[in-house]
Copies of this chain bind each other. A is one copy, B any other.
Amino acid sequence: LYKPIAWIITIGNELLVGRIVDTNAAWLASRLTFLGASVRRIVTVGDTVDDIVAVLRDALASSDIVVTTGGLGPTDDDITMEAVAAALNLPLVLNREALEHVSRFYSTKPAELTRERLKMALLPLGAKPIPNPVGAAPGAHVSVGRSELFVLPGVPREMKPMFDSYVADKLKPILPELCVREKSVVVKGVAEADLAPLLRRASRECVSCYVKSHPKGHEAESPLVDVRVLASAPTCEEADAMAQRVIGRLMELVGGGGGGGASSSVR
């Protein structure tokens, strides 16, 4: 199964000083995964043009889809568009459509179109603005060689609807027609280390599945392991069946001597 490779870039010093937990990255990673992409890297970088440029170039050289969040606001450290333009060797220009968006946003509000607000209408030449249904700053969409680059704001309540209404739609032509499903089983009474060889055997039921164990209890004393199986197939029925085969086989193996008090429950 071919899956396009995606990189997620989250931008902001507040992430590098640990002030904020990066929930945007997890949200985007989940969305991209279930849409059929393979997320290969998540990179967090500060509000520094050179650093953002370096990460953008790495990302564009190694992936089909790049999504960035953060750094689109009105303050001086909001420099993502400048960095995108620099990474692509494009000038930053006042985008007519983005300007309409920004003007419309402020038209009903007691706010002047100051240089800080006009900045939000500056996009790399040729970029398409991504409408922001909630906030002032539009995003940007640029096709670069084999990659699609989407530049989104960092505020989650702006970023999420922009991804769902614009990005997901633009990705359709390059994503495979796949259904991605996840099934999980909680195994009690078998330490993760003892479960490992059983998992290895059960995983053979579906070599394209992604199988991972997450220890939840205390290893060896009261082991509790959450096993997750992620399956991708042309139809959801097939994906469900593939994941179920791994879990069924694992339950057989656990029941058949994995541990005295072993039990499991499928979700």
Q: Which residues of A contact B (CB under 8 A)?
A: 13-23, 25-33, 39-46, 51, 55, 73-77, 105-106, 109-111, 114, 116-117, 135-136, 155, 182, 191-197, 199-200, 210, 212-215, 219-221, 228, 230
The binding surface of chain A is classed by DSSP as: mixed
| Oligomer copy total | 2
Q: Do residues A22 and B25 form an inter-chain contact, with CB atoms below 8 A?
A: yes
Q: Taking A76-B196, A105-B220 as given, write out 16 further A-B residue pairs in contact, using a Cβ cutoff of 8 Å, ordered by the A residue number.
A: A15-B26, A16-B42, A18-B25, A18-B28, A19-B182, A20-B26, A21-B21, A21-B25, A41-B43, A42-B43, A43-B44, A75-B195, A76-B199, A109-B221, A111-B220, A114-B197
Write out the residue numbers on chain B whose beta carbons fall within 8 Å of the beta carbon of A230.
17
Identify the interface centre among A77, A110, A182: most chain B CB within 10 Å of its CB.
A77
Q: Do residues A19 and B73 form an inter-chain contact, with CB atoms below 8 A?
A: no
Q: Which residue of B lies closest to A24 (CB)?
A: B21
Contact among B13, B106, B212 with A212 in the assembled complex (CB-CB below 8 Å): B13
- In the bound assembly, the distance between CA atoms of A117 and B192 in angstroms comes to 10
Query: Provided the pairs A16-B29, A17-B230 are in contact, do residues A41 and B40 lie with their beta carbons within 8 angstroms?
Result: no
Write out the residue numbers on chain B whose beta carbons fall within 8 Å of the beta carbon of A21.
21-23, 25-26
Write out the residue numbers on chain B whose beta carbons fall within 8 Å of the beta carbon of A105.
220
Contact among B16, B29, B41, B196 with A18 in the assembled complex (CB-CB below 8 Å): B29
- In the bound assembly, the distance between CA atoms of A114 and B259 in angstroms comes to 15
Query: Provided the pairs A106-B220, A191-B111, A219-B136 are in contact, do residues A31 and B46 lie with their beta carbons within 8 angstroms?
Result: no
A108 to nearest B CB, angstroms? 9
Q: Which residue of B lies closest to A203 (CB)?
A: B76
Q: Do residues A22 and B19 form an inter-chain contact, with CB atoms below 8 A?
A: no
Write out the residue numbers on chain B whose beta carbons fall within 8 Å of the beta carbon of A41.
16, 43-45, 51, 55
Contact among B13, B42, B182, B213 with A44 in the assembled complex (CB-CB below 8 Å): B42
Contact among B22, B73, B193, B199 with A215 in the assembled complex (CB-CB below 8 Å): B73
Write out the residue numbers on chain B whose beta carbons fall within 8 Å of the beta carbon of A219.
135-136
Q: Which residue of B lies closest to A223 (CB)?
A: B111
6 A-B residue pairs with Cβ-Cβ distance under 8 Å, sorted by A, are A16-B42, A18-B31, A22-B42, A110-B220, A114-B193, A136-B220
Identify the interface centre among A105, A193, A219: most chain B CB within 10 Å of its CB.
A193
Q: Do residues B25 and A74 form an inter-chain contact, with CB atoms below 8 A?
A: no
- In the bound assembly, the distance between CA atoms of A16 and B213 in angstroms comes to 15
